[in-house]
């Protein structure tokens, strides 16, 4: 099926306008951002909204802003903007690592961080990145704004805490001193969704030990981060033995399914190997941040 079911279309001019349109047209309405996930789902008739509310003119949601402790990213910020931002490359290299391997330039020019997080595809890269960076989601509706942790934001595959009459408006990333982060993905061909991917963020204390660490995996059935491996690493100096142990724990904690992208054993092997690699790189980047 390549033709969507019929629908009505309206363009929102402001965030408040979008929220009142959602309220007016009810649960059978959907906002469209980049459209790179929603439109294919409509063509396959996996989604059949009666009203499509276009939020592409909400330029107020297209920003990357930095203050002393936080980097704020608007929900309509495109993948390409994230990839090109010097602030992001310096403060959160994990985002640039992930963006480089998300789809292709055509998708990256239109697809948004808000659409990616709201789609909540289990193989989606930015959801893992946001969990690893302990980001917060700002959701606005008729009653005002709510700020949610990523664990509260994501309810499960393809399900978020955003109600039918709410919009994700912003993602907030806490800036931590002496920290580094990294993301690595194995894909079957360039631009494809992950077979498995892993992300890590490491913050160092002044004596060089690991003050804080988070590890996330993509496409292996994990909801949160790999807390057991994080506990193992905290308080120790970064080192290969610890990374190997953390990789093993991550592989055991993962819960992949066999599909056209590979069997379970192969995916567990990738979870192990990629966890080691991102920890190595995140720790090295944290070390550079501490020196420089």
Ligand X SMILES: Cc1cc2nc3c(=O)[nH]c(=O)nc-3n(C[C@H](O)[C@H](O)[C@H](O)COP(=O)(O)OP(=O)(O)OC[C@H]3O[C@@H](n4cnc5c(N)ncnc54)[C@H](O)[C@@H]3O)c2cc1C
Contact residues for ligand X, defined by CB under 6 A: 30-38, 75, 102-103, 107, 111-112, 114-116, 118-119, 124-126, 162, 167-168, 193
The least CB distance from residue 32 to ligand X, in Å, is 5
Measured from the CB atom, is 189 or 206 closer to ligand X? Answer: 189
Measured from the CB atom, is 61 or 289 closer to ligand X? Answer: 61
User: Residue 122 corresponds to which tokens in the numbers above?
Assistant: 């289990």
Q: Quote the CA–CA distance of 220 and 251 in Å, as a whole number.
A: 9
Contact 61, 15 (CB under 8 A): yes
Measured from the CB atom, is 219 or 249 closer to ligand X? Answer: 219
Neighbours of 204 (CB within 10 A): 23
Measured from the CB atom, is 5 or 244 closer to ligand X? Answer: 5
The least CB distance from residue 58 to ligand X, in Å, is 8
- State which H helix or E strand residue 227 sits in: helix 227-233
Neighbours of 55 (CB within 10 A): 24
Measured from the CB atom, is 169 or 249 closer to ligand X? Answer: 169
Name residue 172's beta-bridge partners. 72, 136
Nearest to 99 by CA among 171, 41, 89, 64: 89
The least CB distance from residue 201 to ligand X, in Å, is 18
The least CB distance from residue 143 to ligand X, in Å, is 16
The least CB distance from residue 84 to ligand X, in Å, is 16
Q: Quote the CA–CA distance of 167 and 164 in Å, as a whole number.
A: 8
């Amino acid at each position: 099926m390549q033709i969507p079911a019929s629908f009505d279309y309206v363009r929102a001019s402001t965030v408040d306008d979008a929220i009142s349109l959602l309220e007016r047209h009810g649960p059978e309405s959907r906002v469209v951002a980049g459209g790179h996930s929603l439109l294919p789902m409509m063509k396959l008739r996996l989604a059949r909204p009666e009203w499509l509310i276009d939020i592409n003119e909400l330029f107020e949601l297209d920003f990357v802003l930095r203050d002393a402790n936080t980097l704020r990213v608007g929900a309509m910020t495109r993948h390409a903007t994230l990839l090109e931002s010097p602030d992001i490359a310096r403060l959160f290299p994990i985002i640039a690592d992930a963006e480089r391997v998300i789809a292709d330039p055509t998708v990256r020019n239109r697809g948004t961080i808000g659409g990616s997080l709201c789609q909540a595809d289990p193989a989606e890269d930015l959801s893992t990145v946001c969990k690893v960076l302990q980001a917060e989601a700002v959701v606005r509706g008729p009653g005002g704004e709510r700020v949610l942790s990523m664990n509260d934001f994501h309810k499960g595959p393809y399900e978020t805490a955003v109600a039918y009459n709410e919009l994700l408006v912003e993602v907030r990333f806490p800036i931590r001193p002496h920290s580094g982060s990294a993301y690595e993905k194995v894909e079957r061909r360039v631009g494809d969704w992950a077979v498995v991917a892993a992300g890590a963020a490491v913050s160092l204390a002044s004596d060089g030990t690991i003050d804080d660490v988070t590890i996330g995996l993509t496409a292996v059935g994990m909801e949160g981060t790999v807390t057991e491996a994080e506990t193992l690493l905290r308080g120790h100096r970064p080192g290969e033995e610890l990374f190997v142990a953390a990789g093993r724990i991550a592989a055991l904690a993962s819960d992949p399914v066999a599909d056209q992208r590979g069997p379970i054993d192969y995916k567990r092997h990738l979870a192990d190997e990629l966890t080691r690699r991102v920890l190595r790189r995140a720790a090295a980047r944290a070390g550079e941040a501490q020196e420089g």
